[in-house]
Amino acid sequence: LEAKEEFSHKTLAMDVMRPRRNDPPLTVITQDSMTVEDVETIINETTYSGYPVVVSRESQRLVGFVLRRDLIISVENARKKQDGIVSTSIIYFTDHSPPLPPSSPSMLKLRSILDLSPFTVTDQTPMEIVVDIFRKLGLRQCLVTHNGKLLGIITKKDVLKHIAQLANQDPDSILFN
Ligand code: ADP
């Protein structure tokens, strides 16, 4: 038998996070450039429990995390009760509304539903540590970054699947891990 290290391939956060290679990109919301209609489309076309909020698609800088259920309630309420909110209204999560021409429709501020410090790990974090963090902090999800840019997401269910996979590994491969 060779030295253990030669065979062991530690699973890293990047191996467990979504999206996987060749998957469509993460569904994100931008902090001050999406319309009510854009966000309603995301709500209708995906079922994720939450969405990372980023500065812009180009930057992928993480701003926070918004839960799907909070987003649904807030947008529905605004549509019903807030004057001037239409499909083309801009939604913003920033402190101040983005500068728009005076003719633009009313904007919708949703900063109050934004979690400004979602838990994050880097893509190189060993899964052992990620599992430990999920257990100890009772996380539902954790975001994965690389050089400060958002890369992916790991949910509690993703972690549980990872643990189940480890348990089902065939004994031959475990010998070398
Ligand atoms: P669960 O993992 O409990 O089913 P979700 O419905 O939020 O929770 O996520 C389903 C799958 O999609 C998970 O594998 C997760 O990593 C991934 N996922 C979660 N949120 C997003 C998102 N905003 N964009 C892309 N994939 C996501």
| pLDDT at residue 6, as a whole number | 47
pLDDT > 70 in the chain, percent: 90
Whether 151 lines ligand 1, by a CB cut-off of 6 Å, is no
ipTM: 0.98
Question: Token match 């996070």: residue?
Answer: 17
Would you state the structure tokens that stand for residue 64, as one six-digit string?
A: 């926070």
Low-confidence ranges of the chain (pLDDT < 70): 1-9, 170-177
Per-residue pLDDT, 177:
44
Spacing, Cα 155 to ligand 1 middle (Å): 6
Please give the structure tokens belonging to residue 123. 């893509």
What spacing in Å lies between the alpha carbon of 68 and ligand 1's midpoint? 11
- Alpha carbons 89 and 156: distance in angstroms, whole number: 34
Cα 150 to Cα 53, 54, 104, 162: the distances in Å are 10, 8, 30, 21
CA distance 165 to 54: 32
pLDDT given for residue 7 in this prediction: 47
Ligand 1 pocket, 158 CB below 6 A? yes
Indicate if ligand 1 lies below 6 Å from the C-beta of 48. Answer: yes
CA–CA distance, 33 with 35 (Å, rounded to integer)? 7
**Does 94 contact ligand 1 (Cβ within 6 A)?**
no
Q: Distance from the CA of 104 to the center of ligand 1, in angstroms?
A: 34
Ligand 1: atom nearest CA of 154 is: 16
Residue 127 gets the label, from left (phi > 0), alpha (psi -120 to 50) or beta, of: alpha
The residue type found at 28 is: V
100-129: pLDDT as tens digits: 999 999 999 999 999 999 999 999 999 999
pLDDT score of 166: 86
Q: Taking the model in full, what pTM does it have?
A: 0.91
**Confidence (pLDDT) at 1:** 54
